[in-house]
Each structure stands twice: as C-alpha cells, then as structure tokens.
Amino acid sequence: MEERDRLEAYLRDRGLKMTVARETVLRAFLGLERHVSAEELYDEARRLDPSIGQATVFRTIKLLADAGLAREACRDDGARQYEHAWKHGHHDHLMCVRCGAVVEFQDDAIERAQEAVYSAHGYVPGGHRLELLGLCPACAGTGGGKGSA
Amino acid sequence: MEERDRLEAYLRDRGLKMTVARETVLRAFLGLERHVSAEELYDEARRLDPSIGQATVFRTIKLLADAGLAREACRDDGARQYEHAWKHGHHDHLMCVRCGAVVEFQDDAIERAQEAVYSAHGYVPGGHRLELLGLCPACAGTGGGKGSA
DNA sequence: CTTTCTGCAAAGTGTTTGCAAAAAC
DNA sequence: GTTTTTGCAAACACTTTGCAGAAAG
C-alpha cells in the first residue's frame, strides 16, 4: 500500500511512530471515497476499531494532510472536510446545490487562465481552490428552476 | 445610502423591522473594507454601540447575506467570513499565503472556461467560488522561497 | 397594542488539549 | 527504558437558541 509507505516515511522522518490507531484512521480514510468530514471519518474508523478515540482521529487526519495524503477543504457549514490527495492529482469541484452531487474535474483552460492571472499580478502560484456551484442535469430537469429545497 | 434602502426593502418585504441594532451592524459592516469574520464585525459594531449583543450581530449578518448585501465565504480555520456583495459585482480572490494580502480580480477567460465546464457536464451554472493562493510580489521578492513566516 | 427584536446567558456544534496508562521503538 | 501516542473528558472557539423586557410598526 503506497499510502501506508508514504505515511510511514513521513512519520519516520519526523521521529514519530507508526501505530495501529494511525493505520486504522488511514484505512478508514482510504476506504471512504471522497469528501469526508472528521466526524464521518471518526465513524468509519470506529467501525474498523470501536475502541478508537475521537481525538486520535482528529490528530491523525491532520497528520495525513501534512504528509500529503489528505487535502483539507472548507465547507460552508463550518465542518472541515478532507479528500484524497495522494496520486489524485489536482482537481476542482462541480457541485449540485440541490442534491449535493459532486463531480471532480480538471480543466486545462481554467488552469491556464489562472496562470495568466498570477502573472498579471506578479504573484507566484501556490495552489487554488475552485468550486463551481449549480444544478446537475437531473435536478435541472425536475423543475430545478426554483432554488428552494 | 443605497445599502440601507436595500435592507429596508428586504425587511419590509418579509414583514420584518428596521431597527437601530440592524442599522448599526450594517454600518459596521460597510465600514470594514473586506473579509470580516462575525467576531470582527461584532467588535466593530460594539465600537459604534457598546450595548449591542453578540447574538444580534450573528443574526443580522445572516440577514445581510440573505438580503444580498453580504456574501458568505468559508475560511480554512473554521470562522466564517463575510464580504461586501452589494454593487460589488462578481469577483474572485488572489491571496498571498505569506502576508495575507488579497487582490480581488475578475477574469473573463476563467469565467468562460467555467461556462464550458458547466456545459460539458450538463450543469446549470449557479455561482462559484475561486481562490488563488500564492506569494505576492513583495513576499516572493523577500525570500519567499520558504513558506515559513 | 401586537409583533418582532434585543441582550443575556445557556446550549449547541466541531475541534483541541491535559493527563495517566499503553504502545512503539 | 525512553519517547511518543492513546482514549477519555474537560476545555475551547464559534454559532445558535430560549426568554423576558424593549422597541418598531
């Protein structure tokens, strides 16, 4: 498991230890497909090991983010979210505001246009966050004209 | 004050009342230039009227957002932020990760590329959030190579 | 006068921290 | 054996809510 190796290398590098709990959280994280809140991750980790503590999950997900395995994202309702970052390349999100469906996409034209913006302002690129909101085909078809739930 | 009119219209429309406290929060919000957390807004409102309550500020900023005067944005560290939305048109943010400098920009190429993404996936556009992170010219010049403070 | 609003303080989230026992090295 | 880690529970930051008195319409 490449991700495990990555985590172990990261830990060893900093004089930290590879523990069962950390491996459990990693497995829980890898098992969940996308955008997980820390609490969802906690639930999943508990399924793998009911004795795991909440604090451990919070501490470990930060570690994963630091090790480059998880990427942090912020959600409107306050809860932080994490998504896979290892070998997942960069992508942005297209989200349906009605049903919550999420499409991950990668668009060269957007990336290039962003580079141009950086240049125009003399900034050195250092990552970005893009979320496109709208209605998915299904919701747009079923009378999505009104924004109400 | 156009914003005040807008708020009053919004309130009247929903059978709500235009109160001193609400006007205070509005003035505080307009007085602060950009990205404000609710707590900063609370501080500012208190400066205008020391007797104002925290809950009122929280309640009112939501009202402002709903009335189209403020726009909600999420920040990595959990605290929600608000920025001016009235007559501010759409814009995105270019932010220096080192000194926090923020440039608001609007780029047609990006907007057009986004439209294309919506079309490609059959989504109906409904707003987006874009944040470009990097180093501003000043920070890039002063040895910005290392991300440390 | 009736309805909405306010400030307070208490409750509610989601997240972090202190600690002694336990695990990793 | 020494150091880091763990789970628990309490603390913490930010936001919301219940309520009786006050203000707006």
pTM of the model: 0.84
Q: How confident is the model at residue B143, as a pLDDT?
A: 62
A133 touches strand C (CB under 7 A): no
Is the pLDDT at B48 greater than 70, yes or no? yes
- Residue A149: per-residue pLDDT: 33
- Asked whether residue A24 carries a pLDDT value surpassing 80, the answer given is yes
In percent, how much of chain B has pLDDT > 70?
Answer: 95
CB under 8 Å to A29, separation ≥6 — which residues?
A: A36, A41, A44, A61, A64, A69, A70, A82, A84
DSSP letter (8 states) at residue B34? S
Q: Read off the amino acid at residue B71.
A: R
With an 8 Å Cβ cutoff, the interface of chain A facing chain B consists of 72, 74-76, 78, 80, 94, 96-97, 103, 105, 107, 109-110, 112-114, 116-118, 120-137, 140, 144, 147
Domain spans in chain B, listed from the N-terminal domain onward = 2-84, 92-144
Residue B144 has pLDDT above 90, yes or no: no
Least confident of A145-149, B13-17, B38-42, B64-68: A145-149
Identify the DSSP state of B17. Answer: -
Split at pLDDT 50, 70, 90, the class of A143 is low
Return the residue matching tokens 């230890």. A17
pLDDT in tens, A44-94: 999 999 999 999 999 999 999 999 999 988 877 778 999 999 888 888 999
Q: Which CATH class is domain A2-84?
A: mainly alpha
Bases along strand D below 7 A from a protein CB: 3-10, 13-18, 23-25
The confidence score (pLDDT) of residue B149 equals 32
Q: So what's the architecture of B92-144 in CATH?
A: 2-Layer Sandwich (3.30)
What pLDDT is stored for residue A146 in this prediction? 44
Would the CB atoms of B126 and A133 count as touching at under 8 Å? Answer: yes
